[in-house]
Amino acid sequence: MSLALLCCALALSAAPAPKIFLVFPLEAKSAEVQLGWVGRGTALAVGDGLRAAGMAVLSRDDRVRLVEGADLPPGLPLSRASMIRVAQQASADFLVYGSYSGSASDLHISLYVLDMHALKLGGNITANGPLSALPLMENDLSWLVLANNGLAEGRSREEHRQLTRTVPNSAYAHYVAGLSASSEEAAMAELGKAVSIYPKFSAARFELGRRYFELGNCAKTVELILPLAGDEPASAEVRFMLGNCYLLQNQFDKSIEQYDALLAAAQSSEAANNLGVACLRKGDYGPAEEWLRKAGEWAAGDPTVALNTAILRYVTGDVEGALRIADESVQMHPSNGMLLFLRSVLLEKMNRPEEAAASLARSKQLGIDPEKLRAQEPKAWTRVFQTLKHR
């Protein structure tokens, strides 16, 4: 869960807000070199256990952003004072940190939990055993974090034991390596190995699929993430990527299905805009207008939504209405080349050639290729969002 979505969910929820945890990678203390992934992996798994028990746990990406925002090195161990400073910036209720040592046959893990409100440090939480028992150790640690802080109410130890990681260590190690790889190529190679070893590894499939999506490879994206469409917490992002890929492939009904499911669970101007575009390109102009209207309400003044709404007006014959929208948006976004190009087309239709020429010239200065666009049908001029933000 992203930091922005987390804060929004906490603010809107009528139920008592879940406690917020910030879990740092564990520091290596005389451990074997091949166990280098254990500190990061254990932190992720403990966080997953807390999250599954109803706690709010800041994601790895949010933690990295917070550390970088504090001008601290994200890839190196931090002092306790630095971790406390980051936890305060995150408004975390609890800070979890620790260390590990030993060998594959005799692994020792130690955690500490700091209550950020009382600034009271809890007792040492430990787990010991061979590397093969690491999933059970992770589960024990997350349970003890809950139990020692009075957060296990309503949940039995046996229930929590059902949350034990089922992904084998061999796949999990590659997944952890992929998340912190120094290059995108190395990250994708590691994540690919994780999926190859354990095809049901949802988190690895999502991370690898997201990277293929960012590269524009929709075939691989769909292959990797389609099985995850009903999973949480990734379902919103999964459905968004699937919707975009199906839209790019002109599979409008499949695209609409994914966006519909996303919007049934969460309000998103990006998804509403993209759903409006899918309906528009399919020729369902009524639903297109409704969803673009919602997108405009949820993201007032957004130039992409305005562009698509103006195109909808244009293709349905309301040139005057389209021009009015384009004029208003250009005033707010004078450097938007697509809006200026569309405005030039509309001005030509309204028999205002001098204004059309001026708008067209400005669009060219901003990098628009009018000849390429005129070779397309106007529906293809619509634009979609590539990143999902929660509003």
pLDDT tens, residue by residue, 340-391 = 999 999 999 999 999 999 999 999 999 999 999 999 999 999 999 999 885 4
Residue 31: pLDDT over 70: no
Residue 289: pLDDT over 50: yes
pLDDT tens, residue by residue, 324-335 = 999 999 999 999
pLDDT tens, residue by residue, 336-351 = 999 999 999 999 999 9
* C-alpha to C-alpha distance for 160 and 173, rounded to whole angstroms: 23
Would you give the DSSP letter of residue 338?
H
Going by C-alpha positions, the residue among 144, 137, 78 that lies closest to residue 104 is 137
* C-alpha to C-alpha distance for 127 and 277, rounded to whole angstroms: 53
AA letter at 211: R
CA distances for 391 relative to 63, 73, 200, angstroms: 21, 30, 31
Sign of torsion over alpha carbons 217, 220, 222, 224? negative
Mean pLDDT of 15-26: 90
pLDDT at res. 3: 53
Residue 163: pLDDT over 80: yes
Which tokens is 324 given? 């009015």
pLDDT-derived band at 67 (thresholds 50, 70, 90) equals very high
Element containing residue 121 per DSSP (H, E): strand 120-121
Phi, psi of 16 (to 5 degrees): -55, 135
Tell which phi-psi region holds residue 119, choosing left (phi > 0), alpha (psi between -120 and 50) or beta: left
Residue 102: pLDDT over 80: yes
pLDDT-derived band at 30 (thresholds 50, 70, 90) equals confident
Q: Domains of the chain, with CATH numbers? A: 3-165 (3.40.50.10610), 166-225 (1.25.40.10), 272-381 (1.25.40.10)
Element containing residue 324 per DSSP (H, E): helix 319-332
pLDDT at res. 126: 97
- The model's pTM is 0.87
* C-alpha to C-alpha distance for 109 and 83, rounded to whole angstroms: 19
Residue 33: pLDDT over 80: no
pLDDT at res. 233: 55
List, in order, residues 6 or more apart from 298 with CB less than 8 Å away. 267, 268, 269, 272, 391
Mean pLDDT of 285-298: 98
Would you give the DSSP letter of residue 24?
P
Residue 347, burial from CB neighbour count under 10 angstroms (0-12, 13-18, 19+): buried
pLDDT at res. 112: 97
pLDDT tens, residue by residue, 116-150 = 999 999 999 999 999 999 999 999 999 999 999 99
